[in-house]
A = this chain, B = another copy of it.
Amino acid sequence: MAEERALATVTCTAPVNIAVIKYWGKRDDDLILPINSSLSVTLHQDQLKTTTTAAASRDFLEDRLWLNGEEADVGHPRLQACLREVRRLARKRRGGSAEDAVALSLSYKIHIATENNFPTAAGLASSAAGYACLVSALARLYGVEGELSEVARRGSGSACRSMLGGFVQWQRGERPDGRDSLAHQVAPETHWPELRVLVLVVSGEKKQVGSTVGMQTSVDTSPLLKRSPKGCGAVGVPELGVTATRLPRQHRAEVVVPERLALMIRHIRERDFEGFGQLTMQDSNQFHATCLDTFPPIFYLNDLSRHIIALAHRFNAHHGRTKVPAGRADPTGLPVCRGAVVPHQIPVSPSIPPQVAYTFDAGPNAVIFTLADTVAEFVEVVRRSFPPAANGDQFVRGLPVGSASLPQELLAAVVPEPVPGAIRYILHTKPGPGPQLVDDPSQHLLGADGLPRRCA
């Protein structure tokens, strides 16, 4: 693709994805093979994207890497794995024959610059977008085409899902070498035009436990998730009347996820928001339950997450027109104010059709799925629940959001005591396409000298 010249430069962008059936736990740490399949929605790059420029030149003395303008260690094993794999595919494509005059030399050193337009490592899948973008740019640079999700997976598991737009499944695969652990598209981004995504950004801080360390600890220690080193089997204790039976240990991976994945695909194909939303919330909760069952426990949800979860359930219950018996407790355990027209203590039934659905990854931000005609109302509910600090920042960003006035009944039923400033801003986006090549050379992050044009 790139021609043999002093400096070959390629720039790509790649999207973030949000899993609705969560990936948590590897069966092979080196190849990054998951213990269960997962499914995600690729978010639109107009709102969230990584941009990566890769350049190669015979004049470069060493491989170099810049992350958000700061030079970083290019020797990271996962980055090196991606580089090695793309070069291997390039070599394979060239058939091992003599040098192709127009192909870039695989021995040249490379420079890589990458930037996110969103906070890094805050549970916004930055490594997914980052490695998807890196692999896309490197593949273009070396003229490699075809299946690349396997390469992106070597950088970060969920990166393989960012190699495609729309609704994407990462199939766990069966082979020990991981050749069948690939992403494929369940439906394109145009499939469900009404689907909207609201990212509630609660903090730009880095998360405390990286997902790599966290999920390994979960696999090692969570009885709801883990592989038993002794294989399957319960300990028989005849004196206690316990019957010894051989039972599977990877409960979530072996029992729960296969069912959920099939259901989720059906909901997406049928554009069934009720099914999609409920299963999304349930799988988010189970992922965090698995983290809590890890030892020592991992907490990604905090009291604010709990507030947001309760808000979503109250909003859904209100629209579900549930009648509320007096004195029933709010199942989310949240403090609520009294004396409202419709009580806050809502016996939220699992069968209430959701209008909004939350999901939380390994970070503090909440992601809300909803349909276009609910966005304005729910955004207003969030604004009333977490009144923005008057610091001039725009509270609602991304796609335009219409105005909505909330009926008093809805306010009374759904909005608890406001928590000012708890949410920094809301990003309104929707499903979007996979990685893109940036044609405009002025958009390269590296200049003609192969060095970053801008510094952070």
Contacts and interface: CB of A to CB of B under 8 A. Distances in A.
Given A286-B224, A302-B303, A302-B306, A255 B247 contact: yes
Contacts of A223: 255-256, 282, 286
Contacts of A289: 224, 289-290, 292-293
A369 to B, nearest CB: 16
A242 interface: yes
Contacts of A61: none
A456 interface: no
A331 B242 contact: no
Contacts of A328: 213
Given A207-B333, A242-B261, A330-B208, A350 B296 contact: yes
A66 B191 CA distance: 63
Contacts of A251: 224, 251, 255
Contacts of A292: 285-286, 288-289, 292, 301
Interface in A210-229: 210, 213-214, 217, 220-221, 223-224
A259 B230 CA distance: 13
Contacts of A390: none
- Chain A: interface size category: 35 or more
A401 interface: no
A334 B254 CA distance: 32
A106 to B, nearest CB: 34
Contacts of A443: none
Integer count of this chain's copies in the complex = 2
A98 interface: no
A234 interface: yes
A209 interface: yes
A252 B255 CA distance: 13
Contacts of A249: 255
Interface string A318-347: 000000000011111111000000000000
A208 B346 CA distance: 11
A241 to B, nearest CB: 7
A435 to B, nearest CB: 25
Contacts of A102: none
A75 interface: no
A309 interface: yes
Given A208-B332, A224-B286, 14 more contacts: A208-B329, A210-B329, A213-B328, A221-B350, A224-B251, A235-B259, A242-B262, A245-B254, A247-B248, A247-B255, A278-B295, A292-B301, A296-B332, A300-B333
22 contacts: A169-B240, A174-B241, A207-B333, A208-B329, A208-B330, A209-B330, A210-B329, A223-B256, A223-B286, A224-B286, A234-B258, A237-B261, A247-B248, A247-B255, A249-B255, A251-B255, A278-B295, A286-B293, A296-B350, A297-B309, A297-B331, A302-B303
| 10 cross-chain pairs, A with B, having the tightest CB-CB distances, nearest first | A208-B333, A289-B289, A289-B293, A237-B262, A289-B292, A242-B258, A251-B251, A296-B348, A303-B303, A223-B256
Interface of A: 37, 169, 171, 174, 207-210, 213-214, 217, 220-221, 223-224, 234-235, 237, 240-242, 245, 247-249, 251-252, 254-256, 258-259, 261-263, 265, 278, 281-282, 285-286, 288-290, 292-303, 306, 309, 313, 328-335, 348, 350
